[in-house]
Amino acid sequence: MSTAGAYLRLVRAGWILVREGVVAALPGEHLSGMPRLGWRVAKLLSRRRAGRRDRPERLSIAVDRLGPSYVKLGQFLATRPDVVGNEMAYDLATLQDRLETFPEAQARAAIEESLGAPVDALYRTFGKPVAAASIAQVHRAETVRDGEIETVAVKVIRPGVRRRFHNDLESFFLASRLQERFIASARRLRPVEVTQTLAQTTRIEMDLRLEAAAISELHENTKDDPGFRVPWVDWQRTGRDVLTLQWIDGIKMSDVEGLRAAGHDLEQLATTLIQSFLRHTLRDGFFHADMHPGNLFVEPDGTIVAVDFGIMGRIGKKERRFLAEILYGFITRDFRRVAEVHFEAGYVPAHHDVAAFAQALRAIGEPIHGQSAETISMARLLTLLFEVTELFDMQTRPELLLLQKTMVVVEGVSRTLDPHFNMWRAAEPVVSNWIKANLGPRGLVADAGDGLNALIALLRQAPELAARTERLAREIEATADRGLRLDLETVQAIGRAEARHTRLGRVALWLIAATLLAILWQHL
């Protein structure tokens, strides 16, 4: 796709956001100069009926017009409040990923191409689509498994969706590069890196074998967990474009009245949900990162079953220790220890003062201890923590932000089930058990074992590392003697590429200018 095409797609997206009142709904009173002028012009150009809608509804309408790529962009940015702000992240989290279904014949063709066999040979029955999203749609079917008839859900990739996402991602990369170039304050947020993460996430999500692997891993991790489980995957009927897994019959956790009418213990469900999430996070370092109530079902025996594993979170041992220690430190009011944990993890630069950082953390922790346990929000605590650490130059940690966002959702679901839910009492057994196992004597033994294994691995690589070091030293010495030289062909190629880039940039800018003039002319 050409740079000019990316510019035009970007202009179209901006125009739709302006017309649907999304830009006008952003807080602009504090702006000055050209940004404030642009915000005021956006308010004038927005549709009249847009003014009667709240911001989430405006966002939803605009995203529906822009297409499935922007639904995914919105959902992804909802996990990055550091980029879009907490209020906008909350609004983006409400976006619904629901599209019209595509014909069953196309779904059958995709299955047969991916699995190399006729649908009727793969499935005992294959029904019409029951749900559709931006990337795939789901059919209900039946298979024979271990001699028994099993109902399964068959997820099929939407035709042409990869090409559509590829084109729109070009526009996203263009917008992020412009942001880094012209908006100095945005460089700290590394927008190009954020877009690269989005691109990688969508590539993974569009290969259903990788989602199947995530389901399988979580299924294995949780097979002995009380009150929580994950559906099994039918690997024989799973490929790049199709995923077959166990069909779940249960009540959605969003249907609180339905759960109450079925006789479920809502307080116990809230406790099981938060403990399961913390167990996956601390014990396994691998968690479902899209646990909104529409993705959680409750079976007749009270077991919670999660579905839709397109967004998963993974944190390493260091991040798990960091999370456990800061939670425990805030509970015990050991703010000095919480500060030290940040420095030990390398999250806060060493030139800052530990005591000053501990003082800032006390400003978060002390008000919490003045509240009743039922009103203390662990998710809110993490949100405040990230706001304070920004003052001390803490670099953005996407994995921790995804964890915090998921905790906000999970805690919200738990409080919907039980308005008086005591987050700390429910979390304490999981957190304290993890701390005893990993920060006590057993943890020291495990760390010593990990260190010994790392040392053995390093010793095995020592001969190769020595050889590489010797080669590098010779090359540096040779470069110092001769200097760094470019041959004529390389220099000419660089010149041609730079000239071509400049011409394309000028053409694209003229196209944008012409488009904007045409738009403004229509409204004069």
Indicate left, alpha or beta for 116 from its phi (over 0: left) and psi (-120 to 50: alpha). Answer: left
Report which of 218, 378, 204 is spatially closest to residue 284, judged by C-alpha positions. Answer: 218
Report the distance separating Cα 203 and Cα 443, nearest Å.
37
119 contact partners, CB below 8 Å, separation of at least 6: 108, 111, 112, 126
List Cα–Cα distances, 76 to 16, 194, 273, 316, 429, in angstroms.
20, 10, 23, 21, 32
Beta carbons of 266 and 256 less than 8 angstroms apart? yes
Question: Do 315 and 303 touch, CB atoms closer than 8 A?
Answer: no
Residue pointed to by tokens 């529906």: 64
- Closest by CA position to 241, among listed 348, 154, 338: 154
Pairwise CA distance, residues 102 & 115, whole Å: 19
What is the pairing mode between strands 296-298 and 304-306?
Answer: antiparallel
* Helix-then-strand count for the chain, H and E: 22, 10
Tokens read off for 402: 């995804």
Backbone phi, then psi, for 418, in 5-degree steps?
-140, 100
Distance separating alpha carbons of residues 56 and 331, to the nearest angstrom: 35
Catalytic residue among 91, 168, 290, 308: 290
Query: Known catalytic residue: 290?
Result: yes
Q: Are 271 and 227 in contact (CB under 8 A)?
A: no
Cα torsion at 339, 340, 341, 343 (round to 10°)? 100
Catalytic residues: 290
